[in-house]
Structure 1
Amino acid sequence: MNALTVGVVGAGRVGAVLGAALNAAGHRVVAAAAVSGASRERAARLLPEAAILPADEVARAATDLLLISVPDDAIAGVVAGLARTGALRPGQVVAHTSGAHGLEVFGAVDGMALHPAMTFTGADADLDRLPGIAWGVTAPDRVFATRLVADLGGVPEWIAGGQRPVYHAALAHGANHLVTLVNEAADVLRAAGVEQPSRVLEPLLTAALDNALRMGDAALTGPVSRGDAGTVAKHLARMPADAVPTYLAMARRTADRAIASGRLRSQDATALLDVLAHATPTAPTTTAPTTTAPTTTAPTTGSAA
């Protein structure tokens, strides 16, 4: 693809990184809109040659591609505002990076939805994660979208406009809830007296994730998949009370999947299902120690903050 003149509206954790990736691919990000102090710092670090301008001026400077990477709920308003001021021009490609929205947020403006299926922190290391990832794409011009995603080292996954919320829900369910699950497991280990939960969890969870991606439900192991009702009951009775609801919800869903996939025979699941059906999150327990939130910037999955 010929070199594009690009503008980025929203130099958040996603927009600034994608702008840097476009520069590295031989395109030229000439302008960016960055409002917060964090966004300005990001733009200065990742897009040093881009002029920091108001959004309408960024749109006017972006003769070929305007990348809109603002929070999901703001996209339609940003596009409408730019159209109203005459900042958008014929022949200019306008793209947003939301996973949940399709083309409806563009109104009468021709555009495309390009969502990188990756978590972002806004750090330089994010650039190293882009090669080989999938991009959830909804676009009338598939040729242009394919070339643009290829320039960024990715592979397009074509998502029908009406299915984008389902697509994005799957990513949020997998990535965001995984973070919650891992941290809950770490909290419970601390309650058991383990000082470095990450040392215990990293090899176990890495293997479990690899097995799940390769083997699907056949990767299920542990007491629920074996129907060990006594062990599960002991877990529920002794673990910290604030972790019980999550454990219980996941155990019930794990039992459903284990039975449906044939990992657990229905006749062997009766006692387990009875324990799960009658368990409550108010079992007597000790309190898990309070954890300190990390000081690094929280990641996001494909939308700027």
Structure 2
Amino acid sequence: MRRDGRLGIGIIGAGRVGPVVGAALGGAGHAIVGITSGSDDERVAAVLPGVPVLDVLEVIRRSELVIIAVPHDELAGLVSGLADLGAWQVGQLLLHTDAAYGTDVLAPAASRGAIPLAVHPALAFTGTSMDLRSLAHSYAAVTAPAPVLPIAQALAVELGCEPVVVAEADRPAYAEALEIATAFSQSIVRQSTSLLAEAGVPNPGRFLSSLIHSTVDHALSEAGPMGPIDPLDGLIDPLDG
């Protein structure tokens, strides 16, 4: 870590998450030293203007903190493959953003002296600067070995999120919960907007916006410390006279 507390941060993964996480940490005062190429370099350049596009090994070589934001199925192989190449550096912070993994997936890098961290912002990313505002109202699941847990929590705070510690063994359940919430929400919105369009309602998405937001807010306030809500509670049984 630099004397002024700033980190040189490199990003592996130029999808929707990596550039936004980099921009948020850059806004917190860290230096973004490079990012790997992706399928939409123009979008990445808009989120991270002036940040050089580098190959993976060069990103790692320049970085004190490496953020890996790649698809779930690619993470384990990438980490172990780079370990085989001797890419990871002793004392280098290594953070991934995958919901389902804790830090065990980073074990090949940790065996080479890297410091493993898992921070997942609970947000549906668009990959644009709009996400930076959303991060300020989000939570982040944090998993890390006890001695370095405060580092992971501090990075979550610098993203704008409130950190919530999730144990290694609980990461799969955490990821499943988020997947259910996301898939269910998307499915219901698609069905509802389609029916409204058939009914001739203009701008069905806008028409439903206030209703959906207020309904979700009400459901979340009821969930609180009382536990999960029965998704069928309050619905009319179509077979009930």
Q: TM-score, normalised by structure 2?
A: 0.86
The answer on whether the counterparts of 1:137 and 1:158 sit within 8 Å (CA) in structure 2 is yes
The answer on whether the counterparts of 1:32 and 1:43 sit within 8 Å (CA) in structure 2 is no
The answer to whether structure 1 residue 147 and structure 2 residue 154 are counterparts is yes
Residue 3 of structure 1 and its aligned partner are, at CA, apart by 0.3
User: Equivalent residue of 2:88, what SS?
Assistant: coil
* Counterpart in the other structure of 1:296: none
Structure 1 CA distance for aligned equivalents of residues 23 and 124 of structure 2: 16
Q: 1:121 aligns with which of 121, 126, 138?
A: 126
The total of aligned residue pairs comes to 225
* Counterpart in the other structure of 2:37: 34
User: Equivalent residue of 2:38, what SS?
Assistant: coil
Structure 2 CA distance for aligned equivalents of residues 164 and 146 of structure 1: 16
User: Looking at CA atoms only, which structure, 1 or 2, has the larger radius of gyration?
Assistant: 1
Structure 1 CA distance for aligned equivalents of residues 67 and 62 of structure 2: 12
The answer on whether the counterparts of 1:6 and 1:27 sit within 8 Å (CA) in structure 2 is yes
Gap runs ≥5 in structure 2: 111-115, 225-229
Residue 107 of structure 1 and its aligned partner are, at CA, apart by 2.8
* Counterpart in the other structure of 1:57: 58
Residue 127 of structure 1 and its aligned partner are, at CA, apart by 0.9
Gap runs ≥5 in structure 1: 218-252, 277-305
- Identity of counterpart residues, as a percentage? 38
The letter of the residue matching 1:102 is G
The letter of the residue matching 2:19 is A
* Counterpart in the other structure of 1:244: none
Q: Which has the higher contact order (CA 8 A, sep 6+)?
A: 1
Cα distance change, pair 214–42 in 1 and its aligned pair in 2 (3 A): same
Cα distance change, pair 196–104 in 1 and its aligned pair in 2 (3 A): same
Structure 1 CA distance for aligned equivalents of residues 28 and 201 of structure 2: 46
Q: Aligned-pair RMSD on alpha carbons?
A: 2.1
Deviating above 4 A after TM superposition, structure 1's stretches of 4 or more consecutive aligned residues are none
The answer to whether structure 1 residue 203 and structure 2 residue 217 are counterparts is no
Q: After superposition, give the CA deviation of every residue in 1:193-227 in whole Å (9 maximum; x if it has no partner).
A: 3233234312221221121111249xxxxxxxxxx
Structure 1 CA distance for aligned equivalents of residues 163 and 202 of structure 2: 43
The answer on whether the counterparts of 1:30 and 1:49 sit within 8 Å (CA) in structure 2 is no
The answer to whether structure 1 residue 3 and structure 2 residue 6 are counterparts is yes
The answer on whether the counterparts of 2:79 and 2:108 sit within 8 Å (CA) in structure 1 is no
Residue 119 of structure 1 and its aligned partner are, at CA, apart by 0.9
Structure 2 CA distance for aligned equivalents of residues 194 and 42 of structure 1: 34
The answer to whether structure 1 residue 134 and structure 2 residue 146 are counterparts is no
Q: TM-score, normalised by structure 1?
A: 0.69
